[in-house]
Amino acid sequence: MTDIPQQQLPEDALRRLRESEIPGGRRLFTSDLTVNEFLLVEEAGFTPLGLVMGSSIYQIGLQTRKWSQSTELDKLTQAMYTARELAMTRMEEEADVLGADGIVGVRLDVNYYEWGKSTAEFIAVGTAVKAKDGSSWRNAEGKPFTSDLSGQDFWTLLHAGYAPLGLVLGTCVYHVAHRTLLGTMGAAGRATELPNFTQALYDARERAMTRMEEEATRLQADGIVGVQLVEKSHMWGSHTIEFLAIGTGVRSISDDHVVPPPVPVITMDR
Amino acid sequence: MVASAPDSGSARPADADGGIGDLAFHPVSRERRTWTSDLSVAEAAAVRRVGLVPAGFVMGTAVMQLAATGGQVFGQWGGLGGPSVGGGGGYSESYPCAHSYAIGGGIGFGGTAGGAAEHYGFNIEDAVLAASLTEGYRLAIGRLRDEATEVGAHGVVGVDLLFENLVGSTGTATFFARGTAVKHPGGAPLPSPFLTNASGQHFERLIALGYVPAGIAVGVGSVYVQPNCQSRGDFTVPGSNQQIPRAILVARARARDSLAAMAHRVGEGVVHTEWTDRRVNRYAESWDQLTVAVGTSVRRYSTEAPPLDPRPVLPLRP
Amino acid sequence: MSPALSSAPGIEAALAALRSPFVPGDQTTFISDLTVGELVLLEEIGYRPVDIVSGAGTASWNPQFTTSATEGNMWGRAIATAIDHARSGIVEELHRRRADGVVAMRFELERERANLLTCTMLGTAVQRISRGSGDEHPFATTLSARDFHLLVRGGYRPSGIVIGVSVVGFAARSAAQSLGLARDNAELSDQTTALYSAREQAMEMMEREAQGLGADGVVEVQLQERPVNALLTHAVEFIAVGTAVHRGPKGHQALAPEFQLTLDDQPDTTFDR
């Protein structure tokens, strides 16, 4: 994928981040974590520094596609990837301003507004955190780690002897061919596999997964946890689909990965 | 009103409600071979852990013609007629025109479209509407309790109170109470079964923590609002507005006061209070600001409950 | 206290209590929308319920005679005014009832007609069981009783609900775009900056309120955004709401949670709805 252009953060963002100092040299923290997530992040040895965010409004155009040909729409893939990367990069820059070691609870959202037919806003929001003991948690690219894990999962991951490295993602916008008239008629009334469709979906998913794994390799991750595979047609209609794979790259920080045996319970409340 | 208080008056409606009372008390003679209940499995288990068993699904219904200050409420909550002065309770406030337009020849209640009077507004407590709602709830709850008594129940858990226009269209409202009757096998009957809007699990916790439900309490408050120019959204007088917040706060305070007055006759505290604010449209742009509060009056019967001291746990999700 | 109160909890004792008439007047009364379990959680961190308290505020703005640059500001000010009146109303009520705070507060913001907006708040007022000497400012929080309990055990206490508002309005399309010159699959930097800045401003206003309360931080921040109204689709309002918290003198208290394996829980999705 291409390099992401470095962009200055808006003046309002820098001002907010710099003004969050409170008398006594400490800093006011903000967080969209719930109370229990917030306490668990503290429990895990991190101090929340502030809510950080980044966004990018992107004009997602169309790319000519052939009715009967299944193929990746590489310009759209590129656009969807770059817009998310821009939002994430800006969020990471905000975290940098705060001197953070990482960002937990990252959410990636796509908003569509009425005023833009083919525009979409990509937003990344998370809570910047810093290790209490002063140790560095930055990843192989020298950036703060990012993770979409909840406060609970973050604590559990650390207790299991792993550390998050970064949110890794891969995307692929794919055009799945329409069936030819002859093909539709030939298959009428029979239960039969549509190998072209199967092949197209397989191919698109594999590409998205592969790109995500490549990102993890660049971060020198041992593995990826919490992978979600999302398929969405956004504004393109039913035959053009974005396949998005996203997860948190992790590395091992301890020799044994032993979690105390959990107490099995069944809640009676629902 | 408080239903199920041992010392509260009888729930049987007098003949005043047009003679439908007798019919409503024997709606269908259901033969109860097996018990029915709207409890979930977890709720039923909680009730059984306490030592009670379900005795049947019970309900009570009352269809009422509502009255309001200045006449009936007509139509789908829309209607005719403004209020008559002095027909409400204690509270009233006037909100003169924010443009300081003078009104010639007195105040036209209800407003005349386009005239200066439309700039003039007032709030007046609508105790008549509040009283008719209170009566509807009292009838429905009383009938629910009578059904529970009939099946030999000690109480009713998970009581739901619903309020809707189901039948008829000219200012009628249907009040519906439903819940699951429960009994304590071998226990002597109570003077009147207890009622609570708490679910089975919450009922279990209530008993375990040393509290017993004494009855359901309902509080209603209503304020008729004739908006002045600013409260109608006239954009030539923007800014902060007093009339609408005052109507909301007074309606809530009246609901709170009537809830407390009833509930504290039978128990020291009210828990599980559910609040509903709604607007009932009246003539032109006027409305009734209505608040209904439903809660369970509780009594502490034991101070020996062990401390909860909850242990923090972290679920490992599948 | 009646002798029955010393019996162990159980259904027999509970039903026995209902057989004797209640004598009102010799106990402190309360009204609450919480459950009994939640009341006990409050009691264990030293609070008891007092009453239901509420606050309300309404404000309007003038959409006429304003240029698009000031439209946003006026609407933003109306939102802030309505919220502020509701909040100061509920805090005043807390003072009147000598309460220390309100928990599990319902916070609703409702548009009425095009330019009218009403904010209402309602919750259970609580009082410290052992009255401290320091007369602290009463707090209002939307945190549930359970989260309040957890927060206090974790070494913090809430200092109040904090809010930031900002509204941004802008031209639907730049000149180049309306001529069809905009590049496809490229970033729209003007719009990006406009929305980005508006979001930051809402956060900044909220943070300034928290600093004004002398808080150490803000938890459970919710950043809501929506178009201003049907007529102004090119304006977006941002509202940031959170609970400001104070760190206690001892700092964070370890909770040391224990792993638990629930056998009926579904994982929740965190992203891209």
Chain A residues in contact with C269 by the CB 8 A cut-off are 228
Interval C116-139: pLDDT, tens = 899 999 999 999 988 765 557 899
Q: Does C179 touch chain A (CB under 8 A)?
A: no
Residue of B209, B249, B268 with shortest CB distance to C36: B209
The answer to whether position B100 is within a domain reads no
Mean pLDDT check: name the lowest of A12-21, A247-256, B118-127, B135-144: A12-21
Q: What are phi and psi of B251, to 5 degrees?
A: -60, -40
Domain presence at residue A236: yes
Mean pLDDT on B296-305: 90
Chain B's closest residue to A261, CA to CA, is B316
The domain containing residue A124 runs over which residues?
11-252
* Cα first-last separation, chain A: 47
Contact C272 A148 (CB under 8 A): no
- Report the pLDDT value the prediction gives residue C114, as an integer from 0 to 100: 63
pLDDT at A103: 96
CB C224 within 8 A of CB C206: no
C contacts of B270 (beta carbons < 8 Å)? 30-32
Alpha-helical (H) ranges within chain C are: 11-19, 36-44, 68-96, 145-153, 175-178, 189-212
Tell me what pLDDT residue A256 has.
84
The answer as to whether A213 is a domain residue is yes
For residue B146, what pLDDT is reported?
A: 94
CA distance A216 to A167: 9
Number of compact structural domains in chain A: 1
Mean pLDDT of B217-233: 92
Binning pLDDT at 50, 70 and 90, where does residue B8 land?
very low
C4-24: per-residue pLDDT in tens? 566 788 999 999 999 988 888
For B45, the domain range is 35-71+124-300
Q: What is the pLDDT of residue C185?
A: 76
Q: CA-to-CA distance for A241 and C96, rounded, in angstroms?
A: 60
| Contact flag B40-A263 (C-beta cutoff 8 Å) | no
What confidence tens digit (pLDDT) does each residue in A186-222 have?
A: 767 778 888 888 888 899 999 999 999 999 999 999 9
C28 — pLDDT class (breaks 50, 70, 90): confident
Q: Answer whether B118's CB lies under 8 Å from B112's CB.
A: yes
Other C-beta atoms within 10 Å of B177: how many? 27
Between chains, do A268 and B315 touch, taking CB under 8 Å as contact?
A: no
Cβ atoms of C22 and B214 closer than 8 Å? yes
A36: helix, strand or coil: helix
With CB atoms and an 8 Å threshold, state whether A268 touches B46.
Answer: yes
The pLDDT of residue B160 is: 93
**Best residue in C22, C29, C34, C36 to probe B by mutation, most B CBs within 10 Å?**
C36
Q: How far is C261 from chain A (nearest CA, A)?
A: 5
Whole-number pLDDT of residue A192: 81
Fold of the CATH domain C27-179+187-247: Translation Initiation Factor IF3 (3.30.110)
Backbone angles phi, psi at B222, to 5 degrees: -150, 135
Q: Return the H-helix or E-strand segment holding A205.
A: helix A195-218
A-contacting residues of B 294-313, CB under 8 Å?
A: 313
The predicted structure's pLDDT at residue C152: 92
Q: What span, in angstroms and rounded, lies between the C-alpha atoms of C228 and C112?
A: 12
CATH number at residue A52: 3.30.110.70
Enumerate the domain spans of chain C: 27-179+187-247
Q: Considering only alpha carbons, which residue of chain C is nearest residue B248?
A: C56
Judged against a pLDDT cut of 70, whether residue B201 lies above it is answered with: yes
Q: Which two tokens stand for residue B30?
A: 């259901």
- Residues in A touching C163 (Cβ below 8 Å): none
Q: Is residue A262 part of a domain?
A: no
Please check whether residue B152 lies inside any domain of the structure: yes
| pLDDT value, residue B81 | 39
CB contact under 8 A, A12 and C215: no
Helix (H) or strand (E) holding A216: helix A195-218
Q: Burial, C85: exposed, middle or buried (Cβ in 10 Å; 0-12, 13-18, 19+)?
A: buried
Is the CB of residue C254 less than 8 Å away from at least one CB of chain B?
no
On whether residue B187 sits in a domain, the answer given is: yes
Does some domain include residue B212? Answer: yes
CB contact under 8 A, C257 and A40: yes
Q: What's the confidence (pLDDT) of residue A217?
A: 95
| C222-243 average pLDDT score | 79
| Coil, strand or helix at C81 | helix
Residues of chain A in contact with residue C252, where contact means CB-CB under 8 angstroms, are 39, 42-43
| Average pLDDT over every residue of C182-194 | 79
SS3 sequence, chain B?
A: CECCCCCCCCCCCCHHHCCCHHHHHCCCCCCCCCCCCCCCHHHHHHHHHHCCEEEEEEEEEEEEECEECCEECCCCCCCCCCCCCCCCCCCEEEECCCCCCCCCCCCCCCCCCCCHHHHCEEEEECHHHHHHHHHHHHHHHHHHHHHHHHCCCCEEEEEEEEEECCCCCCCEEEEEEEEEEEECCCCCCCCCCEECCCCHHHHHHHHHCCEEEEEEEEEEEEEEEECCCCCCCCCCCCEEECHHHHHHHHHHHHHHHHHHHHHCCCCCEEEEEEEEEEEEECCCCCEEEEEEEEEEEEEECCCCCCCCCCCCEEECCC
Does any domain span residue A2?
Answer: no
pLDDT at C64 over 70: no
Per-residue pLDDT at C176 exceeds 50: no
For residues C35-54, average pLDDT:
92
Model confidence over B16-66: pLDDT tens digits? 333 333 334 444 555 556 677 778 888 899 999 999 999 989 999 999 888
Q: Is residue B141 part of a domain?
A: yes
CATH of the domain at B259: 3.30.110.70
The whole-angstrom distance between C204's CA and the closest CA on chain A is 5
Domain assignment present for residue B21? The answer is: no
Number of domains composing chain B: 1
Mean pLDDT of B265-277: 93
pLDDT at C252 over 90: no
Residue contact C217–A30, C-beta within 8 A:
yes
Strand order across the beta sheet in which B53-65 lies: B53-65, B172-183, B155-164, B194-195
Residue ranges for chain A with pLDDT beneath 50: 1-5, 270
Closest CA to C201 of C234, C237, C172: C237
Give dist(CA B236, CA C104) in Å, integer. Answer: 37
Question: A21: which DSSP letter?
Answer: B
- This complex has an ipTM of 0.86
Three-state secondary-structure class, residue A136: coil
